[in-house]
Amino acid sequence: MEQHTKSLKKVIITGTDKKYQHYLPWWIHNVNKHTSEDVHISIADFGMDKEWKQWCRKHGAVKEWIDLPPCPPRYKGNTWFYKPVTLLATKYESKIWIDIDCEILDNIDGLFNFLHEGKISTCPDYYHSWGCKYQTGVFGTKNSPEILKKWAMECDRGVTSNRGDQEILWDIINREDAHPRISPIPEEYNWLRIAIDKGKDIPNKKIIHWTGDRGKQVIQRKINEFNSLHSK
C-alpha cells in the first residue's frame, strides 16, 4: 500500500459497509477506466467484512486505505455521516468523493478543475424534497477547508430530525450564509436517477447516481453483467 507523502495530489474516494461492499470491483473498474494514471483511488472502511478488506488492500488500483472507527449508535447505521471525515482523513491534496452507487460513464479528470481552496465543490440538486440545493453524492475539496471541518463535526453528532449528510451541509450553508464557500460542479458529473425517471436526460452525462431502491436494482443488473465478464 502506498504511503502518504506530500507528492500525493489527486484521489477519488469512496467508502462502504457490508451492504454494498460487493459493488467495489465494479466501481473501481469504472474509475480506472475513466481517469488518467495520475488519479489514485482511496477506499474507506465503513464496516466491511474481513474478506473485502483484504481484497481492497491487495488490489493494485487501491493506493490508500482509510480505517475508520466502528459506526457509533448515534449514526443509527447511516454510514453517510462518515463522508466528510473521510476527506479529512486522506492525505491527498485534491480529493473527490464519489458515492459507491454512482456509475461512471465517461472521463472524469475534469472534476479536479472545479476544486478551489477554502470551498466544497458539488453539483446542484433540483429534486430534493426538503429543498436542498446541493448534492453530496459527488463532491470535492482542495486540502481541508473550514467548511469541511464544520460539516464533519456536525455529521459526527449523528441522526437528528431524520437528516443525512446532505441536509446537514445545506443547514450549515443557510445558517452561516456560506454560499460563497460552495463551488459548483456541472450536473453532468452527478446526473440523478430521479431525473431519468422524470424523463429528463442529457447526452453528455459522465456519472449517473443510481439512488434509492430502484437505482440499486439497476446497479445489481450491471454488476451481474460485469461479474459475468470479469473474475473477482
Grid look-up 449528510 returns: 165
The pLDDT confidence band at residue 2, using thresholds 50, 70 and 90, is very low
Beta strands 207-209 and 102-104, pairing class: antiparallel
Considering only CA atoms, which of 107, 86, 85 is closest in space to residue 39? 107
Q: Average of pLDDT values for 123-134? A: 80
What digits encode the pLDDT tens for the residues 19-72?
A: 999 999 999 999 999 999 999 999 999 999 999 999 988 888 899 999 998 888
Residue appearing with cell numbers 443525512: 164
In this predicted structure, what is the pLDDT of residue 128? 73
pLDDT score of 84 more than 70: yes
Helix (H) or strand (E) holding 66: strand 62-67
Superfamily holding 10-229: Spore Coat Polysaccharide Biosynthesis Protein SpsA; Chain A (3.90.550.10)
Give residue 7's pLDDT.
53
At residue 230 the predicted structure's pLDDT band, cuts being 50, 70 and 90, is confident
Burial class (CB in 10 A: 0-12, 13-18, 19+), 133: middle
pTM exceeds cut of 0.75: yes
Break the chain into its structural domains and give their ranges: 10-229
